[in-house]
Amino acid sequence: MRPNHLLSLLLLLLAPAIQAAVLAIDYGAEFTKLSLVKPGVPFDVVLDKDSKRKISSVVGWKRDDRVFGAEAKMAATRFPDTHFPYVKPLLGSTSPSQLPVHPNPPSLTSDGVLIFPHPSPPSHVSPSPESHDQVWTPTALLAHQIAYYRHLAETLVPSGSAPEPINQVIVTVPAWWDHYQRKAYRDALELQGLSCLAMIGEGTGVALNYAMTRSFPDFNLETGLGQKEYHVIYDSGALSTTATVLALYQTSYLPTPKSKTPINTTHIEVLGVGYEQVGGVILDVAVQDLLMADFVSKSGQKGVTSDKKAKAKIAREANRVKHILSANQEANVAIESLYNDVDYRSKVSRAALESSVESSIPFFSHPITSALSSANLTLSEINSVILFGGNTRVPLVQSALKSALGGTDDKIAQNVNTDEAAVLGAAYYGAALSRTFKMKNLNVTERSVWDVTMGDEVIFPSGTRLGEKKVLTFPADKVASAGLQLEFAQSTHTSPSQSVSKAESQVAQSKPILAVNVLDIQSALSNFTAPSPVVQVTMRLDPRGYLSVANAVLTTNALDTEKEGGMAGALKGLFGNGKKDKDASGEEEDEAEGDAVDSKKEKTAKPPKVALKFREKHVGIRPMTSEEKRTTQARLTSIAAFESAKFAREEARNLLEGYLYRLSGLLSDDAENKALHEFATEQEKKTLRKSVDETMEWLGEEAERADEKTLRQKRADLEALEAPVIFRFSEYQVRGKSIEDFQQAMFASRSFLVEARANYTAALKAAESATPENPVAPPKYTEEELKNVEDMMKDNEVWMDRLMQDQVKIDASGDKTKDPVITSKELDERGKRLQTTVLRLMSKKAPRRPKPNPGSSSTAHASPTHSGPEVRESTHADADSSSSATYTSHASPTDKGPDVRESTHTEEASGSVSSTTLASPTDHGPTPKVVAHEEL
């Protein structure tokens, strides 16, 4: 099979395991976008509970309540200590952000883990943290947000369908993320029980969205003939700017030599990546600094610089001002009661903002040159530069990009949604992985940005396709005694001619990521008889971008063409090739043929392999341990259970409160709806008023402490008091229609019965004159069936007459507080039962007429011709042969009738007369003169 189709085969193998519902997540530092791939659900982004298309990547607490998105962002001014934004850059990192974006920054523990404090955590968090200064890791905070994202997606239910859990996701990540960051993201998904089907680069997601509705030039991977399109995805977000160079093309191949229709595959291949850790947040921070300095200079309130609530207000206003300055030269600033009840009013200009970040502007253009360099392409070979990310709307970013493209914007393309293209592309990729949807074939190739080394040896160089494997071989005798221990690191890859970005220059040249210990080599070697034993360890650069061990085996390094040694080799060939002796002339040929077969077997023989145990240990930045995962998962579960119970309790309280207000309104003397007054007795109204007042008073005192069960029971008690009134009212509303429907059913059944009786009588009368030669069909309905309908109708009439006498008296009195004696339910049940019985009889098939049973006095034969039956012979003779007359008629077996021949023979023998008549030449067949013919 061709290498370029291996991914297509892999997708087919994975397809049965992929469920119908797949959630695509484009998790950004500031905003997250979601898209759900599910039958019956429109292919679009998932809205949050405020119907917004992008969700703030924030989790926070308002006292005991966990909040997300816009609600969490708004709560930052009141609860800054429990506000956790910008979690993404801290995943798999040991360095807090250099920008002041965290109101309560994380601290680095002694074992090298970033962890956020949570002052006064809720009491329902279990197990409770030992120290409030160390509660949530960045991975745990991401898991909180993922739970919210899944909840939003699970609420999207097609009409008529039941909600179903979502267990599989496709996520986008920066292409330059290292082993630690990808592992931390996967851990967050696992904490929520989600399986990561694919982890693709954000630029790749945009390219998938770009390729959804477009075709590309053909390219032959074997011959190299054809063309490719080269595009750059320029993604500038909140905290980073990335440029991804991709090749897009199409290949065609015939699945079998006899196939006539080729299979077309769209290829998306990542060629190079460049990035810088600069984004829109540096503009927010610059505006914050301008506003803070201006407020201090105008008010003299220097304490504002250390007040968390004031800083949160300024941060929110700075973000609003930044968006205004993207389209205007000036923006007004207004913050009520910023600090110590002092209001703040001012103006900020775009020029002042650009001047404050002037030193960072060149870094917005560097990813373009770095990506082109790593892809070995020039700007002239690029078809377009596709913009993505909200920061690409900022004028200074656009100017920096234009300068990187030679001062022209001819190649800049804005043909994708700058906010949603990545998540829609990821969702499109998820649909392509599933057999539930019919999509065009896709082949996505991504490459590593970092070298993976073992000591001084580069195992997977930068640019290696993700998903590749490499076998490492070690002499078994040298590693058997001490065991085999391997250590792998991830490092930057630069060449003398390649420019180095600010981000790349700050990255350590080597980061240890994985340690592997291969076990039991000595015991496996003691039972291994093959020569030249070696230990082979297969390393895999996962398609999701992290390193792992595929397997470890003990095998032989001997050449496959060597002949077998030992007793087997000595015995082989002693007595020829084991075949039957042939004549002398063929012996040499047979031996040569046998040797060729043996040689072929020796060449294709597989070496023996013994599987070895191994252990993996993540080194460097420590990931979450199993114990930490269990603790964090238990806390997440306890929070989810508390919120679920709280939601159910609040729902029960709202239902009870709404029900009380409705009853109170209906019981009031000036109520517009007088139903309760008309259909309830005075005692019932008095009891209801008393219960409503008591429940209102109880709700005001106990509502905050009452559980869901008590709240629902309170409502059930009130509903039980109101139920008799509701029953009378509903019966009054629907009884007239039920009586009318019942009478129509009785009338229709009576008409049916009259007609059925007439048919039954006619069938019986016809049966009286029927003969075996000419039978008639039996009645369609039996006497028992008709009698059953008749009895049901009589029973209904007696029941109706008896009850209607009392019901008429109640209706005539006008007293609506009396319970009805005849109910709509009984009417409907009797009417439906009668209707079902009659309809079943009406749909009954009429019985067939029995076959004729001819007696001994006549014989009928069906003719096999189109002209009618062929009468072979029919004879009627008296017992007395002396006075008998015999008539015989013969029909010619043709469609046109027999030849015309006529003769009469009269013989006188003992007074007998014999006459024979041939058939008349008609098209309708013969007409017997004596025989009575019954056609079957």
- For 300-321, how does the pLDDT look when each residue is reduced to its tens digit (9 = 90+)? 888 999 899 999 999 999 999 9
The type of residue at 559 is L
- Over residues 402-408, mean pLDDT: 88
Confidence of residue 889 (pLDDT cuts 50, 70, 90): very low
For the domain spanning 450-494+509-561+607-618, the CATH number is 2.60.34
Cα–Cα distance between 87 and 89 in angstroms, integer?
6
DSSP 649-662: HHHHHHHHHHHHHH
One-letter amino acid for residue 591 of the chain: E
Output the six-digit token pair for 575: 């007595």
Return the higher-pLDDT residue of 259 and 680. Answer: 680
The residue-averaged pLDDT of 146-171 equals: 87
Looking at the predicted structure, is the pLDDT value of residue 437 above 90? no
Location of each CATH 2.60.34 domain in the chain: 450-494+509-561+607-618
Q: Look at residue 878 in the predicted model and tell me its pLDDT.
A: 42
Instruction: Using the predicted structure, report yes or no on whether residue 325 has a pLDDT greater than 80.
Output: yes
- pLDDT, tens digit (0-9, with 9 covering 90-100), for 827-858: 999 999 999 999 999 998 888 888 887 764 44
The chain-wide mean pLDDT, for the chain, equals: 82
Residue 361 has pLDDT above 70, yes or no: yes
pLDDT at 528: 86
What per-residue confidence (pLDDT) applies to 489? 92
- Supply the pLDDT for residue 364: 94
The model's pTM: 0.74
Average pLDDT value for residue range 381-404:
93
Contacts of 920 (CB under 8 A, 6+ apart): 897, 926, 927
* Residue 446 backbone phi and psi in degrees, to 5: -115, 160
pLDDT band at 501 (very low <50, low <70, confident <90, very high): low
Options 3.10.20.30, 3.90.740.10, 2.40.50.100, 1.20.1270.10; CATH of 638-720: 1.20.1270.10
State mean pLDDT over 431-443: 82
pLDDT digit string, tens, across residues 438-456? 788 889 999 999 899 998 8
Which residue, 452, 460, 441, 385, is CA-closest to 203? 385
The fraction of the chain above a pLDDT of 90, given in percent, is 51
Predicted confidence at residue 573, as pLDDT, reads 43
User: Does the structure show a pLDDT above 80 at 921?
Assistant: no
Q: Look at residue 901 and tell me whether its pLDDT is greater than 90.
A: no
Domain with CATH 1.20.1270.10 in the chain: 638-720
Q: Which residues pair with 333 in a beta bridge?
A: 346
State which amino acid sits at residue 685.
K
Query: pLDDT at position 394, please?
Result: 93
List pLDDT tens digits, range 40-59: 888 899 999 888 999 999 99
User: What are 742-767's pLDDT values in tens digits?
Assistant: 999 999 999 999 998 898 888 888 88
Residue pair 84/141 in contact (Cβ under 8 Å)? The answer is yes
Q: Confirm if 757 and 765 have CB atoms less than 8 A apart.
A: no
Stated as kind and residue range, the H or E segment containing 698 is helix 682-702
Specify whether the CB–CB gap between 244 and 268 falls below 8 A: no
Confidence of residue 875 (pLDDT cuts 50, 70, 90): very low
Alpha carbons within 13 A on the beta-carbon side of 96: 15
- Do the Cβ atoms of 220 and 226 come closer than 8 Å? yes
φ/ψ bin of 474: left (φ > 0), alpha (ψ from -120 to 50), beta (otherwise): beta
Is pLDDT at 544 greater than 60 in this prediction?
Answer: yes
- Confidence band of 492 (pLDDT split at 50, 70, 90): low
Q: If we measure between CA atoms, which residue out of 210, 241, 266 comes closest to residue 386?
A: 210
Under 8 Å between Cβ of 196 and 544: yes
Within a 13 Å sphere around the CA of 362, how many CA atoms are in the beta-carbon half? 3
* pLDDT tens sequence across 766-808: 888 888 888 888 888 888 999 999 999 999 999 988 888 888 8
pLDDT at residue 268 is higher than 70: yes
Read off the pLDDT of residues 89-116 as tens digits, 9 standing for 90 and up. Answer: 999 988 888 888 999 899 988 888 899 9
Taking the CA atoms of 552, 554, 557 and 560 in sequence, report the sign of the dihedral they define. Answer: negative
Determine the pLDDT at residue 620.
Answer: 84
